[in-house]
Amino acid sequence: MKCLLPRLTSLLFTIFKRALLLWFVLSCNLPAVGADIPSGLTWEEALKMGERIYREGILPSGEHLQAIVQDDIPVDGTMFTCVSCHLRSGLGSVEGRVITLPANGKLLFKPLSRLPEMAGSRKKMIPGYLKSSDRRPAYTDETLAAAVRMGVDPAGRRFNAAMPKYLLSDRDMEILAFYLRNLSASPSPGVTDSTLSFATVYTEGVGSADLEAMLAPLEAYILDRTKQAGYHKLKAGSGPFAEEMDLSYRRLSLARWMLKGPPETWQSQLEDYYRQEPVFALLGGISGHAWKPVHDFCERNRIPCILPITDFPVVSDADWYTLYFSKGLYQEGEAVARYLRRIMETAGNMPVIQVYRKTAEGTSPAKGFKETWERFGLPPAEDRILNSEEPVTGDFWEGLISMHRGAIIISWLGSRDISSAEGIALSGEKPHMLFVSSSLLDKDLNTIPENIRSFTYITYPYRLPQEGRDDIYFLVKSWLKVKNIPVTNLEISSSIYFLGWVLTDALMHMKQHYYRDYFLDVIDMMRDQTHLVANYPRLSFGQGQRFASKGCYIVQLTEGQKPELIKRSDWVIH
């Protein structure tokens, strides 16, 4: 009897929850949903409320959406938001054996066919035995409400058990339906029947060699793609099974948006460019300053920005529209914090000192270290902040070391500053560990004096030389030669070459669905890449992940005139 009691209690609880769900659904009067703007709201208000339900699981009242999964398990709807499976664009996803169908306005409210869309005359060419009935009828407001609340499609078929049943009132269902009708319902700006318009952003002051290395390969890619448009248009009409990719092929155009003057003026310049020529997305781009004005412009206007060349990305868990190669210098500071935490048993409770100038190059990695260190709940490091023009000499290093004997020194300084640290080893005093940045040394690691290398650790956010990527560099150089493009900065050109591959793959999978959010959704679903990546060991993607390179080595230099790098950490430091 004692063994049966828990099972009986669980069964009664399950019956109660199912009865509660049935009561809720029946009490909501399903036909209440409408296609018009919900009463009492403006268009913008209704879209904002619906978007919050869809993306965050937050109701207009501010309460959390409630749901039931696996038929009888109540959960907080913020754990199972619509966007998790249907994605930001509403175009759906595939994960394992679970296929999530589109829920956007253009596709949700019309029949879902088993055949790709094609003109009537072409459809007639298909033999009758290959034709099949629609997978489901078009949704109506009533059947949409039944789908969301009860988990059945318009044909009466039950959804996969992974689909939650949401407890939405009539009013909230009306707002969600309104949002879905407008979600990815028409092409985004920058799209015509024949052309996809892009722009690339670069700032005044970027060196001519670096600008050429970014701009010339990108323009060559755009030109190549445009030349192929005529072929794909012809191919699209050659038989009943022509691919949607060919039907949707567009010419590409690329505008140059040059930003002049101080960064605080860039926002208005970008808005002026955008008013004159709306674009679908920004590609590449390069800046010697912070990328934040461009980042903020893209967030505000919901414009994708794909893989700009910058050491100063915006590190945010909430922003969505800019995909970076990495967190830049911030990532190197983050890597030092993670590495030190991992070896704290050997480092003990030694004081940690950060030395940097009050410049973007200094504050960015220092911020990465500080924020990561604080998340671990460790005692704060002491900051020694220098003025931008303050010189660093041997006396500076000797004074710093004598003041903080046996400390861990993290130096976010340049090559000239580090070369003056040679006297540390001769003074009899030395730090327990000294960290330096390979990026701030411009990868010229020979500037690190030989007699301090035994206790100097280097952040290295790139592929190690011994890992070899000569095949990729050879491929890029060969392509540049064919296009008559001089090699001015091979690392930058290799990054843009990879961007071209990403763009080709994304446009192929988008087919005819030219929505900005879907553009990013498709990129998010790409497989991890190693074979076309020259500058990093791996670039990986995932839903909402906005930094493709997620690691950084900690290395040391061997002694001698031809030193080698020795790994002291793995690529991804947990």
pLDDT in tens, 388-428: 888 899 889 989 988 888 899 999 999 999 998 887 877 67
Q: Give burial (CB, 10 Å; 0-12/13-18/19+) of 383.
A: middle
Tell me how far the alpha carbon of residue 511 is from its chain's centroid.
21
For 348, counting Cβ atoms within 10 Å of its Cβ (0-12 exposed, 13-18 middle, 19+ buried), the class is exposed
284-311 tens-digit pLDDT: 999 988 899 999 999 999 999 999 999 9
CA–CA separation, 487 and 138 (whole Å): 55
Q: State how beta strands 73-76 and 66-69 pair.
A: antiparallel
Q: Does the pLDDT value for residue 556 go beyond 80?
A: yes
Q: Is the pLDDT of residue 241 over 50?
A: no
Q: Is the pLDDT of residue 462 over 60?
A: yes
Confidence of residue 134 (pLDDT cuts 50, 70, 90): low
Pick the CATH number of 330-460+554-567 from 3.40.1010.10, 3.40.50.2300, 3.30.390.10, 3.40.718.10: 3.40.50.2300
Task: List Cβ neighbours of 367 (8 Å cut-off, separation of 6 or more).
Answer: 330, 333
The residue with tokens 């460019």 is 273
Which H/E stretch holds residue 546?
Answer: none
Q: How far apart are CA 488 and CA 491, in angstroms?
A: 9
**CATH fold match for the domains 195-328+468-543 and 330-460+554-567:** yes
Domain residue limits, the chain:
24-182, 195-328+468-543, 330-460+554-567
- The class (CATH top level) of 195-328+468-543 is alpha beta
Indicate the range of 20-24, 37-41, 140-144 predicted with least confidence: 20-24
Is the pLDDT at 221 greater than 60, yes or no?
A: yes
How many CB atoms are closer than 10 A to CB 138?
Answer: 13
pTM (whole model) above 0.75: yes
pLDDT at 81 exceeding the cut of 70: yes
Q: What is the mean pLDDT of the chain?
A: 85
pLDDT at 106: 86
State yes or no: pLDDT of 12 exceeds 60.
no
Is residue 197 scored above 70 in pLDDT? yes
Query: Which H or E run contains 241?
Result: none
Report d(CA 406, CA 301) in Å as an integer: 51
CA distances for 132 relative to 108, 112, 114, 241, 263, angstroms: 19, 11, 7, 15, 58
Count CA within 13 A, CB hemisphere, residue 175. 24
pLDDT at 33: 41
Would you state the pLDDT for residue 248? 60
CB 211, CB 486: distance < 8 Å: no
Nearest CA to 510 among 84, 86, 92, 83? 92
Q: What is the pLDDT of residue 444?
A: 87
